[in-house]
Amino acid sequence: MSEKEEYLLNTRQSGEALELLTNLESNSVSLVFFDPQYEAVRQVLRTDYPLYSQSDYQILRILQQIERILKPSAFCLLWVNKTLLGNDRVPLWLLKTLSLKIVDFLVWHKKNSLGLGNWLRSNAEFCFLIQKSPQKGKVFKNRSFGNVWEENVVPSSKRKHPHQKPRELIKSLILATTQEGDLIVDPCAGSFIVLEVCQGLNRKFLGCDLTFNEMENFLKVKEQKNKQYANLKSQKHYHQKIEDRNLNTYFLIVNNDNQDEAFFCFEKTVKDGWTDLKNNWESIKEVEIEFEKNFKTYRKVVSFYSPESEEILV
């Protein structure tokens, strides 16, 4: 790195991805994690997190810099949402980064997520394993690593970022693709979970996130708001299964969009997955329900109160 480098190693910091990458030397990085914000926040999340979508041109420029800074045969883990699996955006980016090639594909199955969706439930995330030329399979050291990784999603009350990835998956990927002392880069670091794992594995980390400071402030406000509802715990009105006199199972749940609203959830109100909810209610964090109001049918995604925490899971 240049002596004028403004970004610090092994540090949580605010910054712009392209600026960080352009200050790195060519062929100097052993692994890059890249998790862009593909869509506007309100299209994919229910809460107005301080996140900004990146255009295809911005993502391409970042990938061009990743191509430059990666060592030969080193890897980039490119996280993608499921909409990108059905279009040509990723292939078009790679047509302009000819030394980068998709060599494999990874699915993270979120075991404790019910998932939502108009057709199939979205209880997985996806990642392309991209390698810089020359492509060599033996460089990936863990020969037993499967295409599907099962690990619970972190409860939203404990996340440092809405797109936080699972720790053990990150750890296994780092061990399979790098050695001690190698430099690992995450230009859209989000929760900085990659930094935390690198510190435990004796790897150097360099990363930043554009809205790091804004996210810190946002989460503080969110935490204060959640604590306003913690008194419900003392009333025993939280994440519990109840049997009424007619032996009908139901749950008390809270609306994500407006936490002043709470619903008693019965079988007829659940859009789908009542049996799964009934049998696995302790591990399920949210569910989609239908209800009628003013002769119109509405749908809402709602979350359980947690008995293990004084916060509301949102």
Same-domain pairing of 280 and 202: no
Same-domain pairing of 23 and 59: yes
Tell me which of 12-26, 181-195, 216-230, 261-275 is least confident.
261-275
Tell me what the mean pLDDT of segment 220-229 comes to: 70
Which structural domain range is residue 269 located in? 228-304
| Selection from 43-52, 239-248, 297-306 with the highest mean pLDDT | 43-52
In a domain, 171, yes or no: yes
In a domain, 55, yes or no: yes
Same-domain pairing of 185 and 253: no
Same-domain pairing of 35 and 142: yes
Whether pLDDT at 247 is above 50: no
pLDDT higher at 301 or 152: 152
Same-domain pairing of 97 and 241: no
Q: For residue range 67-95, what is the model confidence (pLDDT) as tens digits?
A: 999 999 999 999 999 889 999 999 999 99
pLDDT higher at 36 or 157: 36
Alpha carbon distances (Å) from 15 to 98, 141, 220, 307, 311: 27, 32, 20, 37, 30
In which band, very low, low, confident or very high, does the pLDDT at 308 lie, cut at 50, 70 and 90?
very low
Closest CA to 187 of 161, 210, 219: 210
pLDDT at residue number 203: 98
Choosing from 172, 191, 219, the residue where a domain stops is 219
Tell me what the mean pLDDT of segment 89-117 comes to: 91
Tell me which of 42-56, 83-97, 105-119, 169-183 is least confident.
42-56
**What is the share, in percent, of the chain residues with pLDDT greater than 70?**
66
Tell me which of 46-50, 89-93, 237-241, 260-264 is least confident.
237-241
Tell me what the mean pLDDT of segment 284-300 comes to: 58
Choosing from 169, 187, 219, the residue where a domain stops is 219
Q: CATH number of the domain that 37 lies in?
A: 3.40.50.150
Residue 238, token pair as written in the block: 């939280």
pLDDT at residue number 197: 98
Domain count, the chain: 2
Angle at 82 between CA 281 and CA 196, to 5 degrees: 70
Residue 19 burial (CB < 10 Å; 0-12/13-18/19+)?
A: middle
Whether pLDDT at 2 is above 50: no
| Selection from 82-91, 113-122, 173-182 with the highest mean pLDDT | 173-182
In a domain, 11, yes or no: no
pLDDT at residue number 284: 59
pLDDT at residue number 168: 96
Whether pLDDT at 312 is above 60: no
In which band, very low, low, confident or very high, does the pLDDT at 31 lie, cut at 50, 70 and 90?
very high
Same-domain pairing of 61 and 130: yes
Same-domain pairing of 196 and 294: no
Tell me what the mean pLDDT of segment 142-162 comes to: 89
In a domain, 313, yes or no: no
Same-domain pairing of 28 and 167: yes
Same-domain pairing of 149 and 100: yes
Tell me what the mean pLDDT of segment 146-160 comes to: 88
In a domain, 140, yes or no: yes
In a domain, 1, yes or no: no
Same-domain pairing of 182 and 294: no
Same-domain pairing of 23 and 102: yes
Choosing from 168, 198, 219, the residue where a domain stops is 219
Closest CA to 80 of 27, 46, 35: 35
In a domain, 314, yes or no: no
In which band, very low, low, confident or very high, does the pLDDT at 44 lie, cut at 50, 70 and 90?
low
The Cα–Cα gap between 204 and 206 comes to 7
Answer yes or no: are the C-beta atoms of 107 and 147 closer than 8 Å: yes
In a domain, 8, yes or no: no
pLDDT at residue number 290: 61
Q: What is the mean pLDDT of the chain?
A: 80
Whole-model pTM?
Answer: 0.72
pLDDT at residue number 41: 66
Q: Beta strand pairing status for 249-255 and 241-243?
A: antiparallel
pLDDT at residue number 148: 97
Same-domain pairing of 176 and 291: no
pLDDT higher at 49 or 69: 69
pLDDT higher at 40 or 195: 195
